[in-house]
A and B are shown apart, each in its own frame.
Chain A
Amino acid sequence: MARTDRERLTRRTFLRGTLLAGGVAPVLTATRVAAQPASRAGLDEWVVAVSEDITTTDPLVEAGGAIRWMVSYHMFEPLVGYEGPSFEAVPRLAESWKYTSDTTLELKLRRNVKFHNGDAFTAEDVLYTYEAHKSDPKLGSGYVFDPVEKFEAVDPYTIRIVTKTPVASLLPNMAAVFLVVPKARRAIGPEAFKRHPIGTGMYRIAKDWARDQPVELQANDAYWGGAPSPRRLQFKFIREASTRVAELQRGTIHVAESVPLAQLPLVKRGNTDVVVMKGGRIIVHEFNLMKEPFSNVKARQAVNFSIDRDVLVKNVLQGYGLPHVGVFSPGWLGYSTDLQPYTFNPPRAKQLLAEAGHPNGLEFEWQITEGVYQKDREIAEAVAAQLKQAGITARLRVTERATVFSNHASGNFTVVPVQWPATVDPDRYLQWLFVRPKGVSDSKETEPIRQMMEEGRRIIDTEKRAQKYRELSKLAYERALLLFTHVQDELYGIDKRTGWSPYPVRGVAVHHWYALHASIKR
């Protein structure tokens, strides 16, 4: 059976490669044409304002967040990328790959690729990068490489990865974390490399970078995929959203990341506009399953039947979001449209409460954040008002983000918010939800979920894996393991001359950090 799967996978990989080769080329051509008006309008340099400090440009210094990743991604490349309209594996530094067994993945590297300093890219660079990840816990990439038993160069252009067990998430996880850095980094030292990072990417550093300064990039004319447009690209940290919007209006920046809803009217006029990454971030709230009252499934269902999600999205988020149905967001592996959504039904909620032993309603503490996600406090307040109609009192406690993280892990909560950006592979998100937090991982309720996660991790066949996650999502949803509210859209402000928009994924969702890269380049 395993052999049949393998054969089919190999054929699929081959087919996928062929289709993508045929599919990506027209996309490249089409969007290059689309990018021309911006160039004609004199926008050969874009300044992208990001909301978080750029702490390093070197992928091997610290794990960093999505922003650091987005900046690095223009200078460095993974072996395999997950991007394009279908959001599937596309060949980057590896031109092809195949599973030779359930536990062995072989990747053929692209030849004639040069780093910005002229060095040829070979398997040794991949090994160097891998070793750096393996040996440095600060990079936080153990989840990618812990299951790896062996990582070897078969020849200068072939890498073989052997895992201890079948790991379906290996390739997508590698795409999300593993940017190849030249082994020359060792020779020049990390300090010099930080100032002058060298990759194989479509942009190269234009000016030595210093802390607290923008990262200035220029087109890499020797890029194997062709030189990109715009010719110059700058990433600039502007903390305050209002200031990003003001700079956008002045025309000094051209793409502003994370525009708050309150600023939309300002951005939607003149030469600027708002572009949307639909369903970019799941916001969900975790119940402590080991504590009263939410150790009881009926109490959890009652809460979920007391929320009018359409009202939240329409009135609080001004339509920039989606009601959350199931564990995943549209576009994710395992997302299903077959689930019966929790409707706003206070009588049903009251009945469930009575069955759960709370005929007079219940009260609980809900740790919430303020100003971390779009309208986070307002959403919680609206939900609390809705819950009242079913006799449920939520005591909101605004809690600082770091404390929320710690409380989530230690089980020191009754209900606590969790967020996750649109993602390549759902495994880590599920671990964050059902394995990491005490009060959830030690509950019998989540045992079958964790069992399904374990099985899903070992299924290499994508369709079969998706089916497993659909089952998991259905179970978690029906058992109301989470307090489901909404999926928020990610909003960007743009100078209209850029013609830029976030990348759509499977029609609806978009991967956060690929967005800028993919649209600028393609």
Chain B
Amino acid sequence: MARFLIGRVLQSVPALVGVTLVVFLLLHASGDPADLMLPPEATDVDRQAFRHAHGLDRSLHVQYALFVWHTMRGDLGQSFTYGDPALDVLLRRLPATVELALTSTALALLVGVPCGVVAAFRRNSIADYLVMLGASLGQSVAGFWLGLVLIMLLSVQLGLFPASGRGTLAQLVLPAVTLSTWLMALLARLTRSSMLEVLRSDYITTAYAKGLATRTVVLRHALKNALIPIVTVLGVSLSYQMGGAVVVETVFNWPGLGTLTFDSVLRRDYPVVLVTVLFVGLVFVVVNLLIDILYGLVDPRIRVESRP
């Protein structure tokens, strides 16, 4: 197991280097931070001094090598915009992102999976049709539009929830619902199809033949076996959400990583962009690792141990 883990971590290093290198080159190719960070009135001398102060007047390979060297020593640079260490800027936004990602994922899981189970179990019933219609809508609707509609209806018209911001539970509701919709719909569809496949298996027939209660058959035998694709989707989705949800954060003025990354790219705040890219890369690595381990728990036939 330990060998497996070490192997996986080592495998992730080239991926992280690759991702940061690509982002670094794209950022540098697309514009000069001095143009964006300094007022238009700034003189060329000011611009040159700014570039020098941030090491932007060095050649690209030297800048990237320095970034890698400093990162290895735990120094991720300072944000051009905020003047703070880039890692601090990321950590400041991280709680909001974690809060929104976990809540919306939990919401999607709590609603999507039971809906999928019901739809599969009551195939071709009204319940199935309603779930599938809802799932189709949920996957088709644009998050931006849904967010604004929820604001207009539930916030402006009915005054039930705040329209934006973070801090109270009420402020979490609309962004979490908006963000969870797509995943909820996906999970409902996925659970339904996966359950349908499992429900046709011989061991389910056997379980019924043994006289087990329907509830036990569905939850213990069918659902557990249908979980593999759900766990995969959940993992990938959570990884994406940990990188921030730009659209939902924008609509609800949620101070998360998505808008931080987006703004930092627009401002060419290289250190913040690179630290968020590194972070998201790491999240993907760790979550994928966890999924692999979870597979083994869900299905004992899958072994993560290396063969002797």
Contact = CB atoms under 8 A, between A and B. Distances in A.
Interface stretch (A16-24, A60-68, A199-207): A60-68
Nearest to B79: A55
Interface string B142-158: 00000010011001100
25 contacts: A53-B81, A62-B37, A62-B81, A63-B42, A137-B49, A137-B50, A137-B53, A138-B50, A140-B41, A141-B42, A142-B45, A143-B41, A143-B43, A211-B84, A212-B92, A212-B93, A237-B253, A239-B253, A239-B259, A242-B151, A246-B156, A246-B164, A400-B30, A406-B30, A432-B41
Interface stretch (A159-167, A247-255, A288-296, A299-307): A247-255
A402 B32 CA distance: 7
B83 interface: yes
Contacts of A224: none
Given A402-B30, A406-B32, A406-B35, A61 B83 contact: yes
B40 interface: yes
Interface in A6-45: none
B253 A62 contact: no
B251 A240 contact: yes
Interface string A216-251: 000000000000000000000111101100110110
A420 B41 CA distance: 10
Sorted from nearest, which 3 A-B pairs have the closest CB atoms? A137-B49, A402-B31, A140-B42
Interface residues of B, number: 44
B37 A405 contact: no
Given A138-B37, A246-B163, A240 B250 contact: yes
A409 interface: yes
A243 B163 contact: yes
Given A61-B83, A146-B45, A247 B40 contact: no
Nearest to B29: A403
A420 B30 CA distance: 22
A401 interface: yes
A55 B35 contact: no
A264 B83 CA distance: 37
Interface centre among A146, A237, A250 (most CB of B within 10 A): A250
For the side of the interface on A, what is the size category? 35 or more
A142 B43 contact: yes
A242 B38 contact: no
Interface of B: 30-32, 35-46, 49-50, 52-53, 81-84, 92-93, 148, 151-152, 155-156, 159, 162-164, 250-253, 255, 259, 263, 266-268
Nearest to A137: B49
B40 A420 contact: yes
Interface in A140-182: 140-143, 146, 173, 176-177
Contact of A242 (B50, B52, B148): B148
B151 A243 contact: yes
Contacts of B92: 211-212
Interface of A: 53, 55-56, 61-65, 137-138, 140-143, 146, 173, 176-177, 211-212, 237-240, 242-243, 246-247, 249-250, 252, 400-403, 405-406, 409, 420, 428, 432, 436
A250 B39 contact: no
Contacts of B36: 402, 405
B31 A242 contact: no
A176 B41 CA distance: 10
Interface centre among A56, A63, A65, A240 (most CB of B within 10 A): A240
Given A247-B164, A250-B155, A420-B40, 4 more contacts: A64-B39, A138-B38, A142-B43, A432-B40
A250 B159 CA distance: 8
A65 B40 CA distance: 9
B208 to A, nearest CB: 53
Contacts of B162: 252
Contacts of B43: 142-143, 146
B163 A250 contact: yes
Contacts of A141: 41-42, 46
Contact of B253 (A140, A240, A250, A402): A240
Interface centre among A53, A65, A137, A247 (most CB of B within 10 A): A137
Given A55-B81, A56-B83, A146-B43, A405 B259 contact: no
Contacts of B155: 246, 250
Contacts of B30: 400, 402-403, 406
Contacts of B267: 402
A369 to B, nearest CB: 12
Nearest to A69: B39
A409 B47 CA distance: 12
Interface centre among B40, B81, B92, B159 (most CB of A within 10 A): B40
Contacts of A403: 30-31
Nearest to A400: B30
Contact of A62 (B49, B83, B164, B251): B83
Contacts of A61: 83
Given A137-B49, A239-B253, A239-B259, A65 B164 contact: no
B32 A405 contact: yes
A16 to B, nearest CB: 25
Nearest to B43: A142
A222 to B, nearest CB: 30
A247 B250 contact: no
B37 A63 contact: yes
B239 to A, nearest CB: 24
Given A140-B39, A238-B164, A400 B31 contact: yes
Contact of A65 (B32, B39, B45, B159): B39
A513 B266 CA distance: 23
Given A62-B81, A247-B164, A428 B40 contact: yes
A402 B40 CA distance: 12
B83 A246 contact: no
A223 to B, nearest CB: 28
B244 to A, nearest CB: 13
B248 to A, nearest CB: 11
B46 A140 contact: yes
Contacts of A402: 30-32, 35-36, 266-268
A243 B35 contact: no
A468 B95 CA distance: 57
Given A238-B253, A250-B155, A405 B46 contact: no
A143 B156 contact: no
Nearest to B89: A211
A405 B31 contact: yes
